[in-house]
Structures are given as C-alpha cells and as structure tokens.
Structure 1
Amino acid sequence: MIDASDYSSLEGGLVRMLDRLQAEGTATKDRDADQLLRDDPNAVLLGLLYDQRVLAETAFTGPLKLKQRLGHLDMRRIAEMDRDAFAAVFTESPAVHRFTNKMVDLTQDVARRLADDYGGDAAQIWAEGGAADVQRRVRALPGFGPMKAKKLAFCLYYFGHRDLSG
C-alpha cells in the first residue's frame, strides 16, 4: 500500500523538490513551472519522463520550456510534428534536456501513446483504478520503468492530481 503523502522511501532530486515544496511552496524554484505541473497532467508526466541524469528541477521545468516554445502541450500535435522541427524546438538554448536526441524521440513516442491510447490526456492514465493499475499503465509507456512508476504516485499527490494512497 502506498501512502503518497510520505515520500521517505524515495531518494534523490524528487525528495529535494518535495522538501522545498513543503518548506518554501515551490518544488522547482520556478513558480510558473510549478503552476503548470498543478494545471496540466501532461506536464507532470513529461517532467517525470525527463527526470533522468539531470537535476530534478531541470527535468520538471522542461514541460514549461516546451509549452513556452510551442505554445501548447498538446500531445497529438507533438506526436504529429516533424521530428527535425520538434528537435529544433527541443534543443533551443537552454535545451529541454541534456540528452536531446534520446528525449526528443521519447517525448514524441510518449505523445503518440497518449494521443492513441488516452485521447492525448495523461490524466486518463490515472483516472481509474488503484496504484497498481496506474503503475502498470505508466510502465507500458516508453521511458518509464518501475522507479518512475513509483514516483508518479508522489508527483500526482503533491501536484494535486490524484491521491493513490490506499
């Protein structure tokens, strides 16, 4: 059973972000990025996707960079973009992620899955079922393994999307 309010079983950058959120009211140190994470389920999922081999704060501000550059986080439109055109947006300085080629491809792959299977809305992944169901669906996405699936419950809870506890 998961208690999404207790992240003591986690380590790393997400813990630092959640500690800061509790103490200072901002997880990423960027209030606009934090607001996007609260407002847009796709931003939470992309932030978690980007949370590898970069600071967690950098990962979770990535969706805001994309939205500012594209004017949206519409997964259908991202999925349909020409790869080179999307890569050009993704790699504008500062790049959304330091591993640009890999993350460009993963972002578009995830966007395609969201568009095809969930109507372009990441919230549909966690709309129904318990924690195990949600983790199974998330793990089926490109770039999401068991640790990211576990972290999702805490991201959803702290950014106000869903409590998967009990």
Structure 2
Amino acid sequence: MAVEITHIDYSDLSGGLVRMMDRFKEKGTLTGEIEDDDRLRDDPNAALLGLLYDQRVRAESAFTGPLRLKDRLGHLDMATIAEMDFEPFQEHFSESPAVHRFVNKMAENTQKVAAHIADEYDGNAANLWSDGADLDTIEKRLQDLPGFGPAKASKIKYVLHYFGHRDFSDEA
C-alpha cells in the first residue's frame, strides 16, 4: 500500500539509505518492494535490525534481512531470539540468501541486541522511541546496543521517519 510521508532533509547523509529515500520520493518504495516496506512499517524490531545490518551490504539487503530472518523463524520475538542456542540461530541466519554477508558477527550482534531489547524495552524496539524521547536521547539509547556507534545511531531519525514509526518532519 502506498504511504504518505512528509519528506525531510537528508542532505547530510550519503550512501545506500540516501538511495532508498530517493527511490521513495520517485517511486513510493524504500526497499524496491512495497510489501517489504509495509512489513518494516509493521514491525519495529525489523526496522531496528535493518539499521543494525546496514553495514557493508546494500541498504536494501540490510533492511530486508530481518524480513528473511522473520520468515525463517516465524517471528522476531526478541526474548526468544536472545535465548536461542547460537548454532541453530546461526544456521537460520546463514540460509541462502543469508540475512547478512557477515553471518557470524551479525548473528551474534542480533542476539545481543535482542537480549538488550528484551531486558530493557519489554521486547519491543518501539519502546526505544515511543515514549516521546527527543532524538538525542533515542540516539544515546541506540549507542547502548551492540553494533550501534554514533554514525549508525544518527541514521535512526531517517529510518523511523521513512518507515513510519515516528514523524520527524517538525524537526527538519
């Protein structure tokens, strides 16, 4: 389904996320598939993991990686993912096409992020941002997660805005 999103300035960014937002302006889809965009809008855990995976792979592959994982597991329940034995989890992660090219490290980071979200945010990534926290606070919360440094955390504004999890058009 086509989604109406107010565009915000992303001229401070470069790379794959910019390509995705440019595509959204032109064609109404971030990932290239409306259905995948909708699934990322419906699942804040998937959107967060997509940002985690946005590293040394095409951004579209990074953001659809959590959807592949969800299809294989039947869920993105963070507590369940955190508690899975690593080897079986890694096998799901590495099925072709792999969730991410760096299977071992990203599978490990996924379980660490899942544990943090399960423990600190009641298993729901939306709780990182849905309490009305300002952008600086959200970015600081992200930097507490494995695999999220300042540069990656600074992209959360665009991920949340364009995937419809939080409107940042007033802050543009």
TM-score when scaled to structure 2?
Answer: 0.92
CA distance in 1, matches of 2:125, 2:10: 22
Q: Return structure 1 stretches of 4+ with deviation > 2 angstroms.
A: 163-166
Q: Which residue of 2 aligns with 1:163?
A: 167
Structure 1 counterpart of 2:35, from 32, 35, 38: 32
Q: Which residue of 2 aligns with 1:112?
A: 115
Counterpart of 1:132 in structure 2: which amino acid? D
Q: Which residue of 1 aligns with 2:150?
A: 146
Structure 2 counterpart of 1:99, from 87, 102, 106: 102
Counterpart of 1:99 in structure 2: which amino acid? F
Report sequence identity in percent.
59
Any conservation in 2 of the 1:14–1:56 contact (CA below 8 Å)?
Answer: yes
Any conservation in 2 of the 1:30–1:61 contact (CA below 8 Å)?
Answer: no
Q: Determine whether 1:49 maps to 2:42.
A: no
SS at match of 1:28: coil
CA distance in 2, matches of 1:105, 1:84: 10
CA distance in 1, matches of 2:39, 2:152: 20
How much is the aligned-residue C-alpha RMSD, in angstroms? 1.1
Where relative contact order (Cα < 8 A, 6+ residues apart) is larger, the structure is 1
Counterpart of 1:68 in structure 2: which amino acid? D
Using the TM superposition, give the Cα deviation of residue 45 of structure 1 relative to its aligned residue in structure 2, in angstroms: 0.4
CA distance in 1, matches of 2:49, 2:35: 16
Using the TM superposition, give the Cα deviation of residue 22 of structure 1 relative to its aligned residue in structure 2, in angstroms: 1.3
Q: What is the number of residues matched between the two proteins? A: 163
SS at match of 1:48: helix
Using the TM superposition, give the Cα deviation of residue 139 of structure 1 relative to its aligned residue in structure 2, in angstroms: 0.7
Q: Which residue of 1 aligns with 2:3?
A: none
Q: Determine whether 1:76 maps to 2:79.
A: yes
Any conservation in 2 of the 1:114–1:121 contact (CA below 8 Å)?
Answer: yes
Q: Which residue of 2 aligns with 1:16?
A: 19
SS at match of 1:49: helix
Q: Which residue of 2 aligns with 1:127?
A: 130
Counterpart of 2:74 in structure 1: which amino acid? G
Counterpart of 2:43 in structure 1: which amino acid? D
CA distance in 1, matches of 2:28, 2:80: 32
Any conservation in 2 of the 1:32–1:64 contact (CA below 8 Å)?
Answer: no
Any conservation in 2 of the 1:138–1:144 contact (CA below 8 Å)?
Answer: yes
Q: Structure 1: any 5+ residue segments left out of the alignment?
A: none
Q: Structure 2: any 5+ residue segments left out of the alignment?
A: 1-6
CA distance in 1, matches of 2:33, 2:93: 19
